[in-house]
Amino acid sequence: MSLSYEATLAWAQAQDAADPLRDFRDEFLIPPHEGRDSYYFCGNSLGLQPRAVRAAIGAELDSWAELAVEGHFKSTLPWLDYHEFVRDDLAAVVGAKSGEVVAMNTLGVNLHLMMVSFYRPTAERHAILIEGGAFPTDRYAVESQIRFHGFDPATSLIELEGDEANGTISMAAIERALAQHGSRIALVMLPGVQYRNGQVFDLKAITELAHSHGCMVGFDLAHAVGNLPLQLHDSGADFAIWCSYKYLNAGPGAVGGAFVHERHAQSTLPRFAGWWGHDKATRFQMGPQFVPTHGADGWQLSNPPILALAPLRVSLEIFRRAGMQRLREKSLKLTGYLDWLVRTQLAEVLEIVTPQEPARRGSQLSLRVIGGRARGRDLFEYLTRHGVTGDWREPDVIRISPAPLYNRYADCLAFAEAVTSWHR
Ligand SMILES: *Cc1c(COP(=O)(O)O)cnc(C)c1O
């Protein structure tokens, strides 16, 4: 990015004033700190609350009060079809066809449901490939599925170690792992964006490579959804799962999502079934035989939590208006500015773990505090006391993620100034 950045408030405020997405910030509730807005860089952990969420939940509470069971049919947005009201916006955010996505459950539950269908180990092909240092849920889930099928994680779980300077993983390393182990790998399960170091993975290249070795491919998009434009359908991935409380701003414990590629729309692979996955046309005949509905919807278990889907509907509507391409354009500049500030102003304090090439990272920069854990904790606590919210990852990393929907260039500058005043 050949922008001429400047470390002055005048420059940052001029960028904010010229930002075509600047008005979206007003649609969010920014947590206050000592009478002013805090500097919130934690949208990669819990996105901020859209103002419209309270009324959207209130409307469903009113329907429940006034219509009770009739709300399934007569609510303004009938509950019977409620998950369908988020479908198209969700599909746009992840680059899928509308029948390939469903909002349901939470990430961990969806990961297990997807593995029930897409991890079908045999005596010859039973391994799962994940990245070393994967998020605990992902590691626990794949390990427990391996055991559930009677295999041993010691031989069936392959963890790909980082081969690049900061511990990130090159495509060449993935190629080597598949060349070596491909014939015994049943499932390749990698992130869209690695949560700890912020590295972006090339979903399409990984899928093509893994498929050429006869493996199924799934992606955990917890840190990718709402952060980067995705092309899930074109990637060819078999499945993907995500949560909606990070970049998607749908609230703590929000309803997650799943993608099932259309080639599996009428899959006869085993699945764990529930009545909401049954063919909609005959669901209420309440017959004993499960007939899955077409597409990702066929993996649903339960009638959806309406009060939890209401915020997701609101937040996805914001993404529709903002557009993932425009968000990404701003994100590249905003994170580019943060990157520039760290390199030019804070090089004695912080080193960037996240890859520097814009195509290999999203909003987040993972910043290692030079000098170790105690120093890192001291800086982190100083930032928190001064109204700068990032998050801490052991042993010495602070993750800072400017979200293009509500963060400003001036926020990035305020972060740099807070670090500088701590360092002095
Ligand atoms: C946030 C996150 C999760 C959380 O899973 P939940 O089921 O939503 O609690 C799992 N995996 C990754 C990679 C994450 O970043």
Q: Which CATH number fits domain 77-320: 3.90.550.10, 3.40.640.10, 3.40.50.300, 3.20.20.70?
A: 3.40.640.10
Identify whether the C-beta of residue 411 lies closer than 8 Å to the C-beta of residue 341.
no
- The answer to whether residue 405 scores a pLDDT higher than 70 is yes
**pLDDT per residue over 315-345, tens digit each?**
999 999 999 999 999 999 999 999 999 999 9
106 lines ligand 1 (CB under 6 A): yes
Q: Which neighbouring-strand residues pair with 189?
A: 218
**pLDDT per residue over 85-104, tens digit each?**
999 999 999 999 999 999 99
Q: Which residue has the tokens 């449901």?
A: 113
**pTM of the full structure:** 0.97
Which residue of 107, 138, 399, 401 sits with most ligand 1 atoms within 8 Å of its CB, as the best mutation to test the pocket?
107
Strands 239-242 and 365-369, sheet pairing: unpaired
191 lines ligand 1 (CB under 6 A): yes
Q: How many angstroms separate the alpha carbon of residue 423 from the centre of ligand 1?
A: 33
The proportion of the chain whose per-residue pLDDT surpasses 70, expressed as a percent, equals 99
Q: Which neighbouring-strand residues pair with 188?
A: 129, 217
- The answer to whether residue 138 scores a pLDDT higher than 60 is yes
pLDDT at res. 3: 67
pLDDT at res. 18: 98
Strands 365-369 and 350-352, sheet pairing: antiparallel
Q: How far is CA 224 from the centre of its chain?
A: 4
Q: What is the mean pLDDT of residues 228-252?
A: 98
Joined together, the tokens standing for residue 280 give 């909609």
pLDDT at res. 1: 46
Q: How far is CA 283 from the centre of its chain?
A: 32
Q: What is the mean pLDDT of residues 133-140?
A: 97
Of 180, 172, 175, 237, which Cα lies nearest the Cα of 204? Answer: 237
- Residues tagged in the binding site annotation for pyridoxal 5'-phosphate: 107, 135-138, 220, 223, 245, 275, 303
107 lines ligand 1 (CB under 6 A): yes
Q: Which residue's alpha carbon is at the smallest distance from atom 2 of ligand 1?
A: 222
Extents of the domains making up the chain: 2-50+324-423, 77-320
What is the rounded distance in angstroms from the CA atom of residue 63 to the CA atom of residue 101?
27
Other CB atoms within a 10 A radius of the CB of residue 22 amount to 14
pLDDT at res. 424: 86
Ligand 1 atom nearest 138 alpha carbon: 11
- The answer to whether residue 281 scores a pLDDT higher than 50 is yes
pLDDT at res. 315: 98
Ligand 1 atom nearest 134 alpha carbon: 13
Q: Which residue has the tokens 């019977």?
A: 80
Phi, psi of 393 (to 5 degrees): -125, 125
Assign domain 2-50+324-423 to its CATH superfamily: Aspartate Aminotransferase, domain 1 (3.90.1150.10)
Q: What helix, strand, coil percent values describe the chain, rounded to 5? A: 45, 15, 35
